[in-house]
Amino acid sequence: MVDNLSVFFLAEGEQSGDDVMARLVTFIRAAKQTLAFAVYDMRFSDPLRAHLAAALRDRAEAGVEIRFCYDADKPPQPDLAAGQDPAPAGTGAFVQSLGYPWRRIAGMKLMHSKFLVRDGQAVWTGSANMTDDAFTLMENNIVEIDSQPFAGYYAQNFEQIWEKQNFEHTGDVHTDPVPLTFSNQSANARVMFSPGCGLEIDSEIARRVRVAQRRVRICSLLINSGTLIGELGNLLRRGRVAVDGIYDRTQMEQVYVQWQEVLQNRWKIGALQEIIARAGLIGKNSAPYTPAGRHNFMHNKVLVIDDTVITGSYNFSRSAQFNAENILFIESAPLADAYSAYIDHLKSKYAA
C-alpha cells in the first residue's frame, strides 16, 4: 500500500519556518494544472515569502492556474454585538502582492478555512494559517491527502466561495467517506463544510463524544460549543471513558469574560471549569491576543475519539457553525495513535 494521507505536527519552538515552508513548497511544486488557496491569514516575512513566491512563479510559468480566496479585511473595530469577528489586517495586501487572481470573500463571520487544492487531486489542510507565527510559535497540525474524490469536495467548496465572493450560503456540499491509506493500513475520511453543514457538524461531534467507548482526547484552542460542553460533562459524570487533553488557557480566559456578559452563556463557565478540573486538562499559557502582536496560541482543533481523529480549521465553537470552515472525520487506529502521542507530548511540555 502507498499512503495517501500524511500529517505534520507543529509545536512552539520545535520547527523552523523554513521546515514548514519547505513542505508547503514541495506540495506546490507538484502541481500540473491548478492551485486553489482558501486562506484566512496569510502574511509571511520576506525570507519565507521569497520561497513561496519562487515556487508559485515556477508553477505559473509551467502553465498552472493559481487562484486565491481570502477573508475580506474586517473593520478595525468589528461589531462584536452583531456577531462580527476580527480578522488579521494585511492578508489582502500580501495575497495581492503575489500577483495572481484573487477574490476578497465577504460575510458577517469569517472565511476561516486554511486549505490548498492541487490539480483537483490533492489537499493541504488542517489548523495552520499561513504565517510565520503559525509555522513556528503555535501548536498546529497539517494534513495532506492525495485523493481525487476527497480533493473534489474541497474544489467544489472553493468554487462556491470563488463564484459568490461571499461564503454565506456556501458549504452545502454533500460528502461521503472516502477510503484512504495511512501507515500502510486502510482508513477512511469524510470532510464537511460550514456554514452549510454547521449545525450538522456540531451534532456529529456531540454524537461521537456521546458514544465514545475508550477515550476522548482534546487538543483545542477553544472549547466553546455548548453542545460539546454538555456531552463532555455527561461523559465525565458517567466515568466510564477516559477524558483528557490540552487547551489554550489564556484564550479561554478571554472567552469566560465574553460569556459573563451574555446571560444565556454564563452556565458554560462553571460547566467548562468542572470539565477542566475533572479531566485534568492541561492549559497552555499563551500571549493574550492583540491585532499586531506575535501569537503563540495552542492553535489545534483536534478531538481523538477512540480510533477517530476530528480536525481541520473548525474551532469547537458556535461561531464555527457560521464561519466558512472545513472539518475532517478520519477513521484510522494508527492515525489516532499518532495524534494521541502528539497530545501526550504537549501535555508533558505544558504541564508545569
pLDDT tens for each residue of 303-352: 999 999 999 999 999 889 999 999 999 999 999 999 999 999 999 999 97
CB 48 within 8 A of CB 21: yes
Q: What pTM value is reported for the model? A: 0.96
How far apart (Å, rounded) are the C-alpha atoms in residues 121 and 273?
43
List the domain range (segments joined by +) for residue 200: 5-350
Per-residue pLDDT, 147? 97
What burial class does residue 265 get, using C-beta atoms within 10 Å of its C-beta: 0-12 exposed, 13-18 middle, 19+ buried? Answer: middle
Total tally of structural domains belonging to the chain? 1
Per-residue pLDDT, 330? 98
Measuring CA to CA, which residue among 2, 4, 3, 7 is closest to residue 312? 7
pLDDT 10s digits, 254-277:
999 999 999 999 999 999 999 999
Q: What is the CATH number of the domain that holds 244?
A: 3.30.870.10
Residue 314, amino acid = Y
The number of CA neighbours under 13 Å toward the Cβ of 86 is: 9
SS3 for the chain, per residue? CCCCEEEEEECCCCCCHHHHHHHHHHHHHCCCCEEEEEECCEECCHHHHHHHHHHHHHHHHCCCEEEEEEECCCCCCCCHHHCCCCCCCCHHHHHHHHCCCEEEEECCCCECCCEEEECCCEEEEECCCEEHHHHHCCEEEEEEEECHHHHHHHHHHHHHHHHHCECCCCCCCCCCCEEEEECCEEEEEEEEEECCCHHHHHHHHHHHHHCCCCEEEEEECCECCHHHHHHHHHHHHHCCCEEEEEEEHHHHHHHHHHHHCCHHHHHHHHHHHHHHHHHCCEEECCCCCCCCCCCCCECCEEEEECCEEEEECCCECHHHHHCEEEEEEEECHHHHHHHHHHHHHHHHHHCC
Per-residue pLDDT, 208? 97
What burial class does residue 23 get, using C-beta atoms within 10 Å of its C-beta: 0-12 exposed, 13-18 middle, 19+ buried? Answer: middle
- The three cell numbers of residue 331 are 477513521
How far apart (Å, rounded) are the C-alpha atoms in residues 130 and 81?
29
Per-residue pLDDT, 292? 77
In which residue ranges of the chain is pLDDT below 50?
A: 81-84
Longest dimension (CA), the chain: 60
Per-residue pLDDT, 74? 65
